[in-house]
Chain A
Amino acid sequence: MKSRWVVGTGDYLDLAYHAWTQASATEDVQKITVPQGADYEFDLSIFDTLHPELGDVFIAVDDRFGNFKRMELFRVALERGFTLSSFVSANADVASEAKIGKNVFIGPQAIIGHHCKIEYNSVVHAGAQIGANSHLRASVWIEPGVQIGSRVEIGTHAIIRTGAIVRSGIKVGKGAELGWPQLYSADIADKTVYDTRYDEPILVYGS
């Protein structure tokens, strides 16, 4: 029996592990926690015990550090030769010609419209709706129930939190975080953060 190693940390690791366990009767699904040190660095030694011939890896790290920590483990797994198949819930409604990249997670009741493109390492949680012809770039995080119109472009590492509605045709910049529960009806500049703890958005100038 082939192994399915669900590798990562936190609540999202649990969620992904249970999703894979329910979905695959023919695989030995195992949950592997990667410890993070005081400096937030991963202890990667766990990868030394896993072999691409014996199974496949799914990386499950949440949106911490702007999705960079999930990206970090994803790259490590890729370098070590794992296939990194996506997880698409049997209860999701995904248009047949939608393009789904490596290590993508699509939760139950999510709706992905026709001609959507969801690039590698992105997460679309339960009940999120992505309108037709939308494009999610790599390592995006879409929380449960988020509504995204059609022809929307979402930059790499962006985070869209529950309660956000993104109007059709909008461009959301890379690294943006839409955390205020509201309708977003204008383009969002790269790295702009709407966090409910703050009175005003956090803007980033220069690079």
Chain B
Amino acid sequence: MQSRMRPEYYLSQEIFEREQAKIFRKTWLFAGLKALIPDHGNTMVRMLAGFPVTISNHYGVFQAHHGQEAQAIQAVGQLLFVNLAPDPMPIHDHFSPSFFSSLESCSTAWGSEVLHTVWHAKFNWKLIFENLRDMNHVRFLHGGNFANYLDMTIPVPEELAEEAAQPLDDTSAQSLRAAIRRFNWGGATPVLIPHRRKVPWHAMVQPWGGEDRYYDWLAYPNLHIASGNAGHSFTLECYTPVSPGRTDVELFWIMARKTQDFDFSSQALLANMHGSKQIVGEDIAMLEAVQNVLHSRAPMPHQGAYEAQNRLIERCYATLMDTESEF
């Protein structure tokens, strides 16, 4: 199957502005964690859709402002989401009730210590979503470590591939919202962790999920959450488009809530972060190489049935970029 993604979607400044207006200023964006501003009077500034947005804690109520203007904000457990639209879509139009409650459930199980850093990557933000929804990449790209530890191949239903091959006939806001709602899913994956390395602190926290399983959430357009150690700690990746060829990849690590106090938790999370630095570093290097060879007359790639999830979101994306349809 021919991809719907034209090279200009990854290269053009005009498309970038259109994405900022039609996706990032319309949808609910991850805007940080409550644990970053835990006390009354704490504030943080987040770059959302190209604007600095101040998030503040006002006696436990979280508020978002761009300049003097209040913006819609919604707490989902520990997570904060902001919508910059003048008339924001209801959050359940973006997150299905089951996705919403899964996010709420896992993030409520988190502790209050957060590690944070940023990598300045040289690729278009969409490449990382395409990569995340292509589980086959794990075995080819991370053969050295991750793939030996987890079998990430997840079968794709045939109906999905067939549906993704059809054009999107209904281009109403409702239909487009339904498309991203399907793309946001998460929780337990079919991937089991057969030989979880048991480190002592695992016994000192209350893990989320209750199974030796890989957990994973994707909230389009800017958040990915994963737990590769069966819910004992979690990584959050937030993607902030800077320009067509630049994306800031923010990385957070957070532990499930402690059941006893211990003073080396930040070191345990730092070890987690160094591990993900290696794995996500492999992704980033590959995506930067892809971005590097893109040019306006680059051939359109072919996609396999396993990329059906991506094809569904790409169908919605192309509609947004090429027509006047809106969320």
Whether B114 and A198, one on each chain, are in contact in the complex, defined by CB atoms closer than 8 angstroms, is no
* B89 contacts chain A at the CB level, 8 A cutoff: no
A65-B271, A175-B267, A206-B112 are known contacts. Are A200 and B117 too (CB-CB below 8 A)? Answer: yes
Name the residue of chain B whose CB is nearest to the CB of A201: B117
Enumerate chain A residues within 8 angstroms of B266, measured Cβ to Cβ.
Answer: 66, 175, 191, 204, 207
Whether B120 and A199, one on each chain, are in contact in the complex, defined by CB atoms closer than 8 angstroms, is yes
Enumerate chain A residues within 8 angstroms of B111, measured Cβ to Cβ.
Answer: 206
* A158 contacts chain B at the CB level, 8 A cutoff: no
Minimal beta-carbon separation of A69 from chain B (angstroms): 10
* B198 contacts chain A at the CB level, 8 A cutoff: yes
Name the residue of chain B whose CB is nearest to the CB of A195: B274
Interface residues on B, range: 20 to 34
Encode contact with A along B238-277: 1 for CB under 8 Å, 0 otherwise: 0000000000000000000000000011110011011001
Name the residue of chain A whose CB is nearest to the CB of B38: A206
Q: What CA separation (Å) do A207 and B113 show in the bound complex?
A: 4
Whether B117 and A38, one on each chain, are in contact in the complex, defined by CB atoms closer than 8 angstroms, is no
Whether A68 and B264, one on each chain, are in contact in the complex, defined by CB atoms closer than 8 angstroms, is yes
Whether A68 and B267, one on each chain, are in contact in the complex, defined by CB atoms closer than 8 angstroms, is yes
Instruction: For chain A, residues 182 to 201, give those with C-beta under 8 angstroms from any C-beta of chain B.
Output: 191, 193, 195, 197-201
* A203 contacts chain B at the CB level, 8 A cutoff: yes
Whether B117 and A197, one on each chain, are in contact in the complex, defined by CB atoms closer than 8 angstroms, is no
Q: What CA separation (Å) do A200 and B240 show in the bound complex?
A: 15
Enumerate chain A residues within 8 angstroms of B119, measured Cβ to Cβ.
Answer: 198-200
Chain B at the A interface: SS class: mixed
Interface residues on A, range: 20 to 34
Q: What CA separation (Å) do A175 and B267 show in the bound complex?
A: 8
Whether B118 and A200, one on each chain, are in contact in the complex, defined by CB atoms closer than 8 angstroms, is yes
Interface centre among A40, A193, A202, A203 (most CB of B within 10 A): A202
* A39 contacts chain B at the CB level, 8 A cutoff: yes
Whether A198 and B277, one on each chain, are in contact in the complex, defined by CB atoms closer than 8 angstroms, is yes
Q: What CA separation (Å) do A206 and B51 show in the bound complex?
A: 26
- When the two chains form the complex, which single residue of A39, A201, A204 contacts B114, counting CB atoms closer than 8 Å? A204
Instruction: For chain B, residues 87 to 130, give those with C-beta under 8 angstroms from any C-beta of chain A.
Output: 111-120
Instruction: For chain A, residues 95 to 133, give those with C-beta under 8 angstroms from any C-beta of chain B.
Output: none
Q: What CA separation (Å) do A15 and B27 show in the bound complex?
A: 58
Minimal beta-carbon separation of B117 from chain A (angstroms): 4
Whether B200 and A41, one on each chain, are in contact in the complex, defined by CB atoms closer than 8 angstroms, is yes
* B35 contacts chain A at the CB level, 8 A cutoff: yes
Whether A198 and B117, one on each chain, are in contact in the complex, defined by CB atoms closer than 8 angstroms, is yes
- When the two chains form the complex, which single residue of A65, A199, A205 contacts B267, counting CB atoms closer than 8 Å? A65
- When the two chains form the complex, which single residue of A38, A68, A205 contacts B113, counting CB atoms closer than 8 Å? A205
Whether A39 and B200, one on each chain, are in contact in the complex, defined by CB atoms closer than 8 angstroms, is yes
Q: What CA separation (Å) do A76 and B36 show in the bound complex?
A: 36
- When the two chains form the complex, which single residue of B112, B116, B271, B274 contacts A207, counting CB atoms closer than 8 Å? B112
Q: What CA separation (Å) do A201 and B270 show in the bound complex?
A: 12
* B61 contacts chain A at the CB level, 8 A cutoff: no
Given contacts A203-B115, A204-B114, A207-B113, 5 further A-B contacts (CB under 8 A): A39-B197, A66-B266, A191-B266, A199-B118, A200-B120
List, sorted by A's number, 17 A–B pairs whose CB atoms are closer than 8 Å.
A39-B200, A40-B199, A65-B264, A66-B264, A66-B267, A68-B264, A175-B266, A191-B266, A198-B277, A199-B118, A200-B120, A201-B117, A202-B116, A202-B117, A204-B113, A206-B38, A207-B265
